[in-house]
């Protein structure tokens, strides 16, 4: 809008000018914080925007404008919900290594510790859509597990395995399975222990990294590095070719079966 004055910060906006609003987030606990950022814009000359039927504004529009006594629109509101989700520092410098020979199967338990969990009953639950902060990275596992046996009723965990690129995802996604099987809650230290069962069934040699992302629905994200290594497979068979004589060809036949189409 032309000739608008941004009263929230005393910012005067020229026509088509962009407005940058810095947001500083300094959480002191591992829980989600919610605010509404409201921008109120009015004309610099104090005049109203004309609106013929201001008395019949629908409820949704009424929340986004301020109406003057003469029926015109005095100000326009932009309301932006902001969710602040704390992220713990990287919990481990050395990744959990899952090693398996190609065309074999390995099953391992991986234990992770979530520090600083806030079990507040009035904490704002985190929805599935807002759980993972880095949406550019692909994810292959995503589950919500409600915790019982002494845990607060509002405490649930969302977890997924994220990869550094789509290429790594394509190499690992079909060969890695992860499920939460055990959880423990220490009320004094506020440390939650999660134990995952990881199944790795590679079909060829590889060495790829991944990150286990865990989020509590009361807020907070924890990251744990993982490394998947598939070594060379066993030899399928030994082919012996008997020579029939010098400078003469010997031929042996064998069958190869493709495991894909």
Give pLDDT tens digits for 187-246.
788 788 999 999 999 999 999 999 999 998 888 899 999 999 999 999 988 999 999 889
Please, which residues have CB within 8 angstroms of residue 116's CB and are 6 or more apart in sequence? Answer: 29, 30, 88, 190, 220
In order of their start, the domains of the chain are: 4-84 (no CATH), 87-118+153-234 (2.60.40.2310)
Task: With cut-offs at 50, 70 and 90, classify the pLDDT of residue 105.
Answer: very high
Q: Is 235 exposed, middle or buried (0-12, 13-18, 19+ CB in 10 A)?
A: exposed
Please say whether the beta carbons of 32 and 120 come within 8 A.
no
- Please, are residues 103 and 233 in contact by the beta-carbon 8 Å criterion? yes
pLDDT > 60? residue 1:
no
pLDDT at 27: 85
- pTM exceeds 0.75: no
């Amino acid at each position: 809008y032309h000739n608008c004055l941004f009263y929230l910060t005393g910012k005067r906006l020229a026509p088509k000018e962009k407005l940058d609003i810095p947001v500083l987030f300094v959480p002191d606990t591992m829980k989600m914080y919610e605010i509404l950022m409201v921008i109120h814009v009015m004309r610099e000359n104090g005049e109203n925007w004309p609106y013929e039927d201001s008395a019949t504004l629908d409820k949704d529009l009424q929340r986004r404008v301020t109406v003057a006594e003469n029926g015109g629109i005095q100000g326009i509101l932009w309301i932006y919900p902001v969710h602040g989700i704390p992220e713990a520092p990287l919990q481990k410098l050395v990744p959990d290594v899952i090693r398996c020979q190609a065309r074999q199967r390995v099953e391992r338990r991986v234990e992770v510790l979530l520090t600083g969990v806030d079990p507040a009953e009035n904490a704002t639950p985190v929805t599935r859509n807002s759980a993972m902060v880095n949406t550019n990275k692909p994810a292959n596992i995503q589950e919500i597990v409600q915790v019982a046996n002494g845990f607060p009723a509002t405490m649930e965990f969302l977890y997924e395995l994220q990869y550094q690129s789509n290429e790594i995802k394509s190499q690992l996604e079909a060969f890695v399975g992860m499920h939460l099987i055990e959880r423990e809650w220490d009320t004094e230290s506020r440390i939650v222990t999660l134990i995952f069962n990881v199944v790795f069934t590679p079909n060829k040699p590889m060495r790829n990294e991944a990150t286990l992302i865990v989020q509590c629905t009361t807020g907070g994200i924890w990251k744990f590095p993982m490394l998947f290594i598939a070594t060379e497979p066993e030899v399928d068979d030994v082919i012996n070719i008997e020579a029939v004589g010098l400078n003469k060809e010997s031929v042996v036949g064998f069958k190869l079966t493709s495991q894909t189409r």
